[in-house]
Every structure is written in C-alpha cells, then in structure tokens.
C-alpha cells in the first residue's frame, strides 16, 4: 500500500483544483488526490515452479551480510578520473586560446 503524507495530498489537491480553474481545492480534489497518491498493489502468486521466490519487501539486513569492498585493479578512482578530465579540458582550452592568438597575429600583419 502506497503512503502519502498530508503535504503531498494538499499539494496534489491544489494542482487538481487549478486544473479545474479553481483557486481552492474541494473535497472531490482531496478524494482524487488520495486515490492517485495512495495505490494498493495486488498480491501476485509466483509462477508455477518458482514457489521458492522470496518477497522483495524484506529488510536488507534480514538475511545475508555486507561483502568487503574491493576496488578493481584496472580502473582509475573517481579522483583520478576528475584530474584526467581537468587536464584534458585545460589542454583543450590552451590549444583554443593559442589558435585564436595565432589567427589574430596573422590577421594583423
């Protein structure tokens, strides 16, 4: 069952009222907002032969445990990627500036 707080309901009811050309929401706007924001999800039986499937709404810590974090050997860290990207951008900017300066010098002669 989806849950909507009062602020979400109020905001959606006001939107519905504005769509209908009214400044203030009416009870029907609140009713429609509640229907749109609070949705029930039907229980679905697993397909035949897959009865061992578990529910997805279990708490992540209900079973299993956290694995140790292992960094890949062949990839750069996010910091290294940012540094490399910054260096490429700086090189590009330097080349553009040099090209523009050379064009200006060539045009003045």
Over residues 21-53, the pLDDT tens digits come to 999 999 999 999 888 887 655 666 767 777 676
Whether 45 contacts 70, CB under 8 Å: no
With CA atoms as reference, report the closest residue to 8 among 23, 26, 30. Answer: 30
Instruction: Output the pLDDT for position 54.
Output: 65
Contacts 24+ apart (CB under 8 A), 77-81: none
Choose the weakest-confidence range: 15-24, 60-69, 74-83, 86-95.
Answer: 60-69
Q: Which domain holds residue 26?
A: 1-42
Report pTM.
Answer: 0.36
Whether 1 contacts 38, CB under 8 Å: yes
Domain count across the chain: 2
Highest mean pLDDT among 32-46, 56-70, 92-106: 92-106
d(C-alpha 59, C-alpha 40), whole Å: 20
Q: Let me know if residue 26 belongs to a domain.
A: yes
Q: Let me know if residue 31 belongs to a domain.
A: yes
Q: Let me know if residue 53 belongs to a domain.
A: no
Per-residue confidence at 1, pLDDT binned at 50, 70, 90?
very low
Q: Let me know if residue 95 belongs to a domain.
A: yes
Residue 64 dihedral angles phi and psi, to the nearest 5°: 80, -170
Q: Let me know if residue 23 belongs to a domain.
A: yes
What average pLDDT score do residues 85-107 get? 89
Count of CA atoms in the C-beta half-sphere (13 A) of 34: 8
What average pLDDT score do residues 51-67 get? 67
């Amino acid at each position: 069952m989806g849950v909507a707080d009062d602020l979400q309901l109020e905001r959606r009811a006001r939107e519905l009222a504005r769509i209908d050309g009214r400044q203030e929401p009416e009870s029907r706007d609140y009713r429609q907002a509640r229907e749109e924001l609070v949705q029930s999800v039907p229980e679905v039986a697993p397909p035949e032969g897959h009865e061992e499937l578990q529910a997805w709404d279990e708490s992540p810590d209900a079973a299993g445990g956290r694995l140790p974090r292992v960094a890949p050997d062949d990839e750069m860290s996010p910091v290294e990627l940012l540094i490399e990207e910054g260096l490429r951008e700086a090189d590009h900017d330097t080349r553009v500036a040099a090209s523009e300066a050379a064009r200006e010098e060539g045009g003045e002669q």
